[in-house]
């Protein structure tokens, strides 16, 4: 139909357009948030509590609540992801069982976040009667992070040369010793990266924690596990509902900018942790 | 005289004390028979060499001796294999303890991502040792592996900074640090340069004076240089086994002569 050179040009142009669309959407989104959000950012905004339902004051408790809930989620998810990965990699011998396990993780990864929220509401709030609890929110976010962290660790373990295992076994090491001394140190980069990517995703989630862990206003520093916290995503949601008020809208952009900055921070940390820990594990 | 009778006679003459004895031993992976009907005894000292064409089952036999292939899917064992009179495939055998007693060096050197000293002590983790004891073990193992002179000034350096030949000797030192009762070597010189290969060959000869060493090689010149005892496997079966001189010059079996002299096998 067309000459080979024309086909080549059409193909290159089509891929260039696809690249442009994907990059420009991200650039537009980030650009808008940065340009509008930076106007609201100040030390006062970052370090003072919100007032008047967020239309004045800052976002100190929202930042604190978000960090508290996702870091706790990371602490809960990391050992479970590690344990599951070690079992899958070192003890699960059946290829079929491994495939089923992987499939379940991919399935869990694809579950909409609102379903996690609903699950938390039914199990913890309704059945266990926990009430609004930041810790329950952390557990639910940990469940959401689990597939990302586990799959990243499993992939790191899959990449370990089998000769390491063989040499360890040949020295009389048990499977447990081999896992602790060879496999885990060599796959730590996968776990840390997976957890940090999970944190980056979890910190922006509203739906799973909205009904079980957060308060839209009035939450401060929680004194116990059974108290709600304020988080950035729910705060943005609350401010967006008052969009007619320019002060609330300005603060919404500021909170969005802060949220994006935190996501970027976790993503960058994942990038550097991967680079450093990969180098370390190869040492 | 039948082949089996000839084999029995040669084996019994060459082997007085045994380290490993196999009786109608066979290894299967699923439906594939890799080795079968191997009946042989390995001497309690010296270097025994397993030779044979690719796919003969040499490495499988070697790996069966310390049960390193236990986790391979579909593995089935027939007959018996005894190490120092203990049937290692009997239910009571502690596999991790057996592996510590029977050291193994693989074809490709694999050092752990740690220092040279830590690599030597790797198999001893969990054993409480003083710093002085650790130093002694490291020095003794590295000397036994002919590596001490090369690395004594940089024991804290990463092991992967060593050359491949040195890494292979470090793997040998790591196995020797456990003071094994036997050493298995699966083509230990296949990945190293000729000079390192000669060093490792000399090392095998030295080690053979104190413990039984069983090695696999495709290099018949090497087999001639290092072996006290030779086992010739072909197509999963033991064709002949005996003292080196017998095997290389006096074998009555045409198959053995053809392979060991002309490096050709039609089985």
* Domain assignment present for B145: no
B110: chain A residues, CB-CB within 8 Å: 161, 163-164, 166-167
Q: Work out the pLDDT band at A280, boundaries 50, 70, 90.
A: low
Q: Backbone phi, then psi, for A12, in 5-degree steps?
A: -60, -40
Q: Give per-residue pLDDT as tens, B18-74.
A: 889 999 999 999 999 999 999 999 999 999 999 999 999 999 999 999 999 988 888
State how many domains chain B has.
1
Q: How many CB atoms lie within 10 A of CB A41?
A: 18
Whether B224 is in a domain gets the answer yes
Tell me how far apart the alpha carbons of residues B239 and B154 are, in angstroms, rounded to a whole number: 47
CA B65 to chain A, closest CA, distance in angstroms equals 11
Contact status, residue B42 vs residue B17, Cβ threshold 8 Å: no
Q: Please provide the size of chain B in residues.
A: 267
Do residues B205 and B228 make contact, with C-beta atoms less than 8 angstroms apart?
A: no
- Comparing A214-223, A243-252, B134-143, B208-217, which segment has the lowest mean pLDDT? A214-223
CATH code, domain with B249:
3.40.50.300
When CB atoms are compared, the residue of B99, B106, B108 closest to A172 is: B99
β-strand B32-43 against B47-51: which pairing, if any? Answer: unpaired
- pLDDT band of A108, cuts 50, 70, 90: very high
Question: Quick check: A187 pLDDT over 80?
Answer: yes
Identify which of B23, B15, B19, B65 has the alpha carbon closest to the alpha carbon of residue B44: B19
A161: which chain B residues are within 8 Å (Cβ-Cβ)?
110
Task: Tell me if B42 is assigned to some domain.
Answer: yes
Rounded distance, CA B174 to CA B147, Å? 11
Chain centroid offset of residue A141 CA: 8
Conformational region of residue B84, where left means phi above 0, alpha means psi within -120 to 50, and beta covers everything else? left
Of B68, B113, B122, Cβ closest to residue A166: B68
Q: B216: part of which helix (H) or strand (E)?
A: strand B213-216
Domain boundaries, chain A: 38-282
B110, B156, B190: best to mutate for the A interface, most A CBs within 10 A: B110
Determine the Cα–Cα distance for residues B201 and B122; give it in Å rounded to an integer: 24
Q: Which chain B residues are Cβ-neighbours of A181 within 8 angstroms?
A: 122, 125
- Facing residues of B49 across strands? B215, B230
Considering the domain boundaries, does residue B27 fall inside one? yes
Sheet containing B86-87, strands listed edge to edge, beginning at the edge strand earlier in sequence? B32-43, B18-29, B75-83, B86-87
Task: With respect to residue B245, please indicate whether it lies within any of the assigned structural domains.
Answer: yes
Residue B92 in any domain: the answer is: yes
| Tokens 């967020």 -> residue | A54
For residue A15, CA distances in Å to A8, A18, A19, B134, B159 come to: 11, 5, 6, 61, 46
Residues from chain A that touch B125, judged by Cβ atoms under 8 A, are: 173, 177, 181
> Going by C-beta distance under 8 Å and a sequence separation of 6 or more, which residues neighbour residue A240?
A252
C-alpha distances (whole Å) from B240 to each of A10, B106, B218 are 69, 25, 16
B60 in a structural domain: yes
How far, in Å, CA of A246 to CA of B147, rounded? 76
Interface of B with A (CB under 8 A): 66, 68, 71, 73, 96-101, 103-104, 106, 108, 110, 112-113, 122-123, 125-126, 158, 160, 171, 174-175, 178
Residue B1: the pLDDT is 44
CB–CB of A171 and B108 under 8 A?
Answer: no
Please report, in angstroms and rounded to a whole number, the separation of the first and last CA atoms in chain B.
21
In tens, the pLDDT along A191-227 reads 999 999 999 889 988 888 888 988 877 778 888 998 9
Residue B87 has φ and ψ, to the nearest 5°, of -70, 110
R_g (Cα) of chain A, nearest Å: 23
Grade residue A247 by pLDDT with cuts at 50, 70 and 90: confident
Q: Which residue out of B75, B88, B105, B123 would a mutagenesis test of the A interface target, given it has the greatest number of A Cβ atoms within 10 Å?
A: B123
Nearest CA in chain A to B123: A171
Residue B5 — very low, low, confident or very high, per pLDDT cuts 50/70/90? very low
Partners of A283 on chain B (C-beta within 8 Å) are 113, 158, 160
Q: Which residue of B has its CA nearest to A182?
A: B112
- What is the reported pLDDT for B6? 46
List alpha helices for A172-245, DSSP H: 175-178, 184-202, 207-210, 232-240
Extract long-range pairs of B94-97: CB within 8 Å, 24+ residues apart: B95/B67, B95/B70, B96/A169, B96/A172, B96/A173, B96/A174, B97/A172
Query: Which two three-digit tokens encode residue A157?
Result: 């373990």
Structure tokens at A181: 């001394």
Rounded distance between C-alpha atoms, residue A75 and residue A274, angstroms: 18
> What is the ipTM metric for this complex?
0.87
Contact B11, B242 (CB under 8 A): yes
**Does residue B153 fall inside a structural domain?**
no
Q: Give per-residue pLDDT as tens, A133-162.
A: 999 999 999 999 999 999 999 999 999 999
Residues of A in contact with B178 (CB under 8 A): 171-172
Residue of B68, B97, B158 lying closest to A283 (CB–CB): B158
Q: Which fold has domain A38-282?
A: MetI-like fold (1.10.3720)
* Cα distance between residue B108 and residue B191, in whole Å: 6
**Residues listed for chain A:** 283
Which of B123, B158, B171 is the closest to A173 by Cβ? Answer: B123
Per-residue pLDDT at B108 exceeds 70 = yes
Query: Can you give the residue range of the structural domain that contains B37?
Result: 3-112+182-262
pLDDT at residue B176 in the model = 94
CB contact at 8 A, B29 and B72: yes
């Amino acid at each position: 139909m067309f000459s080979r050179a024309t086909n080549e040009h059409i193909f290159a142009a089509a891929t260039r357009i696809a690249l442009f669309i994907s990059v420009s959407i991200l650039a537009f989104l980030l650009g808008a948030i940065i340009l509008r959000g930076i106007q609201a950012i100040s030390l006062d905004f970052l370090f003072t509590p919100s007032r008047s339902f967020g239309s004045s004051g800052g976002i100190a408790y929202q930042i604190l609540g978000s960090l508290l809930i996702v870091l706790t989620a990371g602490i809960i998810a990391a050992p479970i992801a590690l344990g599951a990965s070690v079992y899958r990699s070192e003890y699960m011998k059946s290829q079929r069982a491994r495939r089923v396990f992987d499939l379940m993780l991919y399935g869990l990864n694809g579950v909409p976040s609102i379903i996690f929220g609903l699950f938390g509401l039914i199990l913890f709030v309704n059945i266990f009667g926990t009430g609004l609890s930041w810790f329950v929110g952390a557990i639910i976010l940990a469940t959401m992070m689990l597939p990302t962290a586990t799959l990243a660790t499993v992939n790191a373990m899959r990449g370990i040369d089998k000769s390491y295992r063989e040499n360890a076994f040949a020295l009389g090491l048990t499977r447990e010793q081999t896992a602790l001394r060879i496999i885990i140190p060599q796959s730590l980069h996968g776990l840390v990266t997976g957890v940090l990517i999970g944190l980056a995703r979890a910190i922006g989630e509203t739906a799973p924690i909205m009904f079980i862990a957060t308060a839209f206003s009035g939450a401060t520093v929680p004194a116990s596990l059974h108290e709600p916290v304020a988080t950035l995503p729910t705060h943005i949601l609350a401010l967006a509902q008052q969009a007619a008020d320019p002060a609330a809208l300005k603060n919404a952009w500021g909170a969005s900018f802060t949220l994006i900055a935190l996501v970027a921070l976790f993503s960058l940390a994942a990038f550097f942790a991967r680079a450093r820990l990969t180098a370390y594990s190869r040492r | 005289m039948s082949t089996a009778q000839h084999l029995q006679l040669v084996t019994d003459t060459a082997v007085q004390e045994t380290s490993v004895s196999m009786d109608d031993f066979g290894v299967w992976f699923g439906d594939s028979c890799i080795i079968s009907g191997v009946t042989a005894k390995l001497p309690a000292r010296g270097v025994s060499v397993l030779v044979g064409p690719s796919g003969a089952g040499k490495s499988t036999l070697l790996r069966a001796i310390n049960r390193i292939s236990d986790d391979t899917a579909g593995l089935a064992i027939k007959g018996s294999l005894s190490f120092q009179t203990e049937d290692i495939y009997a239910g009571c055998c502690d596999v991790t303890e057996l592996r510590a007693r029977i050291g193994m060096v693989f074809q490709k050197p694999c050092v752990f991502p740690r220092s040279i000293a830590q690599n030597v002590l790797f198999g001893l983790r969990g054993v409480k040792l003083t710093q002085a004891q650790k130093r002694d073990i490291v020095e003794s193992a590295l000397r036994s592996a002919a590596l001490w002179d090369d690395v004594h000034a940089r024991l804290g350096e990463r092991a992967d900074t060593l050359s491949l030949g040195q890494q292979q000797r470090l793997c040998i030192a790591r196995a020797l640090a456990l003071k094994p009762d036997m050493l298995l070597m699966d083509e230990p010189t296949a990945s190293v340069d000729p000079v390192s290969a000669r060093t490792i060959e000399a090392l095998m000869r030295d080690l053979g004076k104190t413990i039984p060493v069983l090695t696999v090689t495709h290099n018949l010149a090497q087999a001639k240089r290092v072996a006290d005892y030779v086992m010739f496997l072909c197509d999963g079966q033991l064709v002949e086994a005996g003292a080196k001189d017998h095997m290389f010059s006096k074998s009555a079996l045409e198959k053995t002569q053809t392979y060991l002299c002309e490096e050709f096998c039609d089985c």
